[in-house]
Structure 1
Amino acid sequence: MCTGKCSRFIAIALYPLAVLSIICNIVLFFPDGDVQYAKDKHITAEVTYMSGLIGGGIMVLVPALYIHLTGSQGCCGNRCGMFLSIAFAAVGVVGSLYSLVVAGVALRNGPYCITILGWDAPFLDGQGKYLTDDFIRLQCLLPKNIVQFHIGLFATLLATSCLQVVLCGIQMINGLFGCLCGTCMDKGTL
């Protein structure tokens, strides 16, 4: 596969991951489908960091667009374009790493919910034990199913950001090869 086709493949793979990150981050603002929790600021700090919207979303979507344009000429993209794709892919790596770190911290700290003592973050000092212990999860009374909601969306953000880091890292290497070796390959040569 030439570097132009590889760029196109990477960009096409990054699009749905970026959109999924954006959607997950937006949905995190509405536990139990209710806007009241966001209005009253009863959401975790990790949600307000908007790592899925900014990091895994915009900071990956913009490089994906450029990387796609770089590869849109098939195997004959120019060397300058491939060089710039390295910088854009690096932005994508930074954005997806931001999303990865925030999602990891959010999974470790747990959700913000109503306990018998009122609004609290009951799993904050638990080192993420709530992830494997169903009994501990019962501390959260409301919003309904907040623990599963929190785990599901942040685990999705974690997985998508891992894939984004890998894809953007591959594009950095691909861009380097395209810049140094050229991107055009004759059909008659190996």
Structure 2
Amino acid sequence: MCTGKCSLCISVSLYPIVLLSIICNILLFFPDWDVKYVREGHITEQVKYMGGFIGGGVLGLIPALYIHLTGEDGCCANRFGMFFSVVFAAVGAAGAAYSFIVALLGFSEGPLCRIDDKKWDTPFKNGNLTYVSNHQMWATCLEPRNVVQFNMSLFLVLMGASCLQALLCASQVINGLAGCICGTCNRKEGP
């Protein structure tokens, strides 16, 4: 497979990951499918960092678009374009790292929830992830309903998506370096 076709394959694989990251980050703003928690500021702190939107979304979409343009004809037109695809892939990998770190922090600290009549807190913050397997601890969160499962599942999806994004961007770095150093596979076709 030539470096251009490989670039095209990588970029097409990045698009659904970018979309998934953006959707997960948006959903995290609406625990229990209600907007009142956003209005009242009762959202987990890591959600506000927008790791899925910025890191997995914007910083994943820009490289995906450039890499797609680089490999659009199936074979790359020049070494300079492949060099820039390496730079953009590195940006995508950095975005994936940001998304992963924010999601990991959100997963490890647990959700912000109401734990008694008026107090909102992150009750699992210093629990060393014991809340993940201890389902009885989830009852500590009175509101929003099922916020522990909601946050855990979406942060896990964001971690998985960011790992895939990082792997694809690392693949493009290798592919781009090969295209930059070894040349592209432009073939002249007959009339």
TM-score normalised by structure 2 residue count? 0.95
Question: Cα RMSD (Å) of the superposition?
Answer: 1.2
Offset, 1:132 = 1.1
User: Helix, strand or coil for the counterpart of 2:52?
Assistant: helix
Structure 2's unaligned 5+ residue stretches are none
Worse overlay, 129-138 or 174-183: 129-138
In 1, Cα distance between the equivalents of 2:61 and 2:19? 8
In 2, Cα distance between the equivalents of 1:88 and 1:106? 27
In 2, Cα distance between the equivalents of 1:133 and 1:77? 56
Partner of 1:21: 21
Structure 1's unaligned 5+ residue stretches are none
In 2, Cα distance between the equivalents of 1:183 and 1:100? 33
Offset, 1:119 = 1.1
Identity %: 55
Partner of 2:83: 83
Equivalent pair of 2:77/2:186 in contact (CA under 8 Å): no
Offset, 1:142 = 1.1
Query: Is 1:129 matched with 2:130?
Result: yes
Partner of 1:63: 63
Worse overlay, 69-78 or 174-183: 69-78
Query: Is 1:140 matched with 2:141?
Result: yes
In 1, Cα distance between the equivalents of 2:67 and 2:76? 14
Equivalent pair of 2:56/2:96 in contact (CA under 8 Å): yes
| CA-to-aligned-CA distance 1:37-80 (integer Å, 9 cap, x gap) | 01111011100000100000000001000000000021243111
Query: Is 1:158 matched with 2:159?
Result: yes
Equivalent pair of 2:22/2:52 in contact (CA under 8 Å): yes
In 1, Cα distance between the equivalents of 2:74 and 2:157? 32
Partner of 1:173: 174
